[in-house]
Amino acid sequence: MSTDQHHHEGEAPAEDAERQPDWWHRDHPTFTALTGFFTGLAFVIVVPGLFAATLGWIFEYDRAEELFPLVLLTLAVPIGLVIVPRTRRFGLYMLIGLFTTALVVLGVAGLVLWYMVTYQS
């Protein structure tokens, strides 16, 4: 084992208590990928729901329904993250999580609709 992993006899234990873990300081690729993916997943689920709730609270039902497609403007957030070099990796994984979740939700909804029309009508 290396010498920086063990205490030397003369070292104070307080020095290790102040030291942050090395992996937290580096931009760990797995951490960035996972947080980006799950942020995209949450984005697909939470943002449209909050947007619809806010529109319903502010406007009448018909007007809120007309304005709901504006939720697509929120896609500027992950696109902006992809454009900025510092956040590009996070933004790419966020888009992957966003599109994967949307694909799964739409696929399951399509299968359920097909099943209901085919076997329940």
What pLDDT shows up at residue 27? 63
Within-domain flag for 114? yes
Within-domain flag for 8? no
As a whole-number percent, the residues of the chain with pLDDT over 70 amount to 78
What pLDDT shows up at residue 9? 54
What pLDDT shows up at residue 32? 87
Within-domain flag for 20? no
Within-domain flag for 112? yes
Instruction: Provide the pLDDT confidence category of residue 8 given band limits of 50, 70 and 90.
Output: low
The count of domains in the chain is 1
CB–CB of 1/61 below 8 Å? no
Residue-wise pLDDT tens digits, 92-104: 999 999 999 999 9
The pTM assigned to this predicted structure is 0.71
Within-domain flag for 101? yes
CB–CB of 43/94 below 8 Å? yes
Domain ranges, residue 57: 27-119
Query: Which whole-number Å values give the CA distances from 42 to 87, 88, 99, 116, in the listed order?
Result: 18, 19, 11, 28
Residue-wise pLDDT tens digits, 20-54: 555 555 567 788 899 999 999 999 999 999 999 99
What pLDDT shows up at residue 19? 60
Within-domain flag for 32? yes
Mean pLDDT over each residue of the chain, to the nearest integer: 85
